[in-house]
Structure 1
Amino acid sequence: MEGGGGSHCRSRALHRPSPSFRLRSPSLNTVRLRRIFDLFDHNGDGEITVDELALALDRLGLGADRDEIASTVATYIPLGRAGLAFDDFEALHRSLGDTFFGAAAPGDEGAAAAEEKEEQDMREAFRVFDEDGDGFISAAELQVVLAKLGLPEARNIARVREMICSVDQDRDGRVDFGEFKHMMQGISVRGA
């Protein structure tokens, strides 16, 4: 019962990152990147190995050749370490962004243009979760995304519903774009 009343909702915070490559808000981008790092760091040791990176990309349906990944990230892994620490991962991310999208110059957009870009980034992130395009993220849709990421929360629909309820302000059992945007702006404020 996805659309019905939200009597099972409790007040907990759910914070899911945007899938956009580079957001215009530095604090939101850093928080999002940290969450991605933590998802990729499968064993939680503070480093992402080539195997963990390959596993995460494969789970997301973006499988890449392990040797290709190794050659891409090799220069970012310091001697004597098995993988990328967060700072290394952030440097790799920045380099890839600059290569594919051009360097992000601070202050190269007006405030209104930056806000518009951030809104577009949030809409793009929302569409990743809203698989059926109905304008809402249901527990079933969130469960699919969590499963693709290999997260254990995906196995428990009650936990997934609890996650939905944590941001479901109108208590209809699903998250609309306004609620999603409010959640993402909360991440930006806390991450600043």
Structure 2
Amino acid sequence: MSPLGTRDLRRIFENLDKNEDGQVSLEELNWLLEKINIHYSVNELESSIGKSSLEFDEFLYFYDSISSEKTMRSSGLESRESNEGDADQETDLAEAFKVFDLNDDGFISWDELQSVLSKLELWDKRSGGDCNSMIRAYDTNNDGKLDFEEFKSMMLFTIS
């Protein structure tokens, strides 16, 4: 299971597809990746993907291929790289945490979460979502914000 559902990914895809041609260009995809602190050049993406744009199904496949370690396990690629993968995963989570921790205080508040999700065009006040509820679901010490371990639990739960 991927961290984001198909409906969320469809909304992201449609927001990226500025000219509404049913394709996301590598430039548009790279813009999104940069926003979430994943750095590829457009040339690297084209070399990896083999084309200059993606249809929605290809976008889903690309997302699944980069989003979870579980994908590697299910395809039989887990091996002695497992410990390296754990360290890489921890590093990736730390980088993701930094993206959300806007004031660099070591915590993610509801307004930081909402701000980042809005910048990524994943938050719409009219959608009825509530960042407070999202935080409360993983806030084990009930301080109203997520520390790194709580964030990590949320992300690992979402991925598995």
**TM-score, reference length from structure 2:** 0.60
3-state secondary structure, aligned to 1:31: coil
Instruction: Flag the 1:94–1:178 CA change in 2: closer, same or farther, 3 A.
Output: closer
C-alpha RMSD of matched pairs (Å):
4.1
Give the one of 61, 64, 72 matched to 2:52: 72
The secondary structure found in structure 1 opposite 2:56 is coil
- Tell me: CA distance 1:150–1:91, structure 2 relative to 1, closer, same or farther (3 Å): closer
Contact 1:40 1:56 in 2 (8 A): no
- Per-residue CA deviation, residues 43-99 of structure 1 (Å, 9 max, x unaligned), is 8xxxx92379949948x869xxxxxx9x711xx5xxxxxx422xx124556899xxx
Structure with more contact order per residue of length (Cα contacts < 8 Å, sep ≥ 6): 1
2:141 to 154, 170, 184: 170
**Structure 1: gaps (5+ residues):** 1-26, 63-68, 77-82, 97-104
SS at match of 1:137: coil
**Unpaired runs of 5+ in structure 2?**
16-20, 37-45, 67-75
Task: Tell whether 2:157 aligns with 1:186.
Answer: yes
Partner in structure 1 of residue 9 of structure 2: 37
Distance in 1 (alpha carbons) for counterparts of 2:83 and 2:122 = 37
> Normalising by structure 1, what TM-score?
0.51
Asked which structure has the greater CA Rg, the reply is 1
Would the aligned equivalents of 2:97 and 2:148 in 1 still touch at CA under 8 Å?
Answer: yes
Paired positions, count: 131
**Conserved? CA contact 1:143–1:154, under 8 Å:** no
CA distance in 2 between counterparts of 1:162 and 1:56 reads 30
Alignment counterpart, residue 89 of structure 1, candidates 31, 55, 59: 59
- Percent identity between the aligned chains? 31
Determine the structure 1 residue equivalent to 2:118. 147
